[in-house]
Amino acid sequence: MSKKVLELSLSFFLIVCALGILFAANSINTALESYLSIIEEQRATQEEVLKSARSAKEVLYEVGIAVSVLSLNDEGVLQTSEANKMLEESVETISKHSERLGKLARHINEFRINPQAKR
């Protein structure tokens, strides 16, 4: 009889161990899936941040070009027609990144060209 009890005890112990291993594997799988989804969300967020930063960099670059063109035009280094073409290109590039900022830049440029028409 003690041999049968020992075998039953060993069988029960092995079943409990197997269930524990299955439970642990399931928990690890769930944790791994959560971790991977968090990593994917972070990657997507980082891509959005990089895209926004690149867009802002390009807008600031175009604003810098516009300021330089205006300065060179005021000093007589650039002809007004050439300056207007370069400024229009800058305004178009800014409009590609931000419609509202492009409209603002366009209005500023139009006022610069013809200040009496706006008053």
Q: What is the pLDDT of residue 110?
A: 85
Share of the chain above pLDDT 90, in %: 55
Over the stretch 28-41, which tens digit does the pLDDT of each residue have?
999 999 999 999 99
Compute the distance between CA of residue 96 and CA of residue 100 in angstroms, rounded to an integer: 10
Q: What is the pTM of this model?
A: 0.64
pLDDT, the chain, mean? 89
Q: What is the mean pLDDT of residues 77-105?
A: 89
Q: Is the pLDDT of residue 113 over 60?
A: yes
Q: What is the pLDDT of residue 92?
A: 92
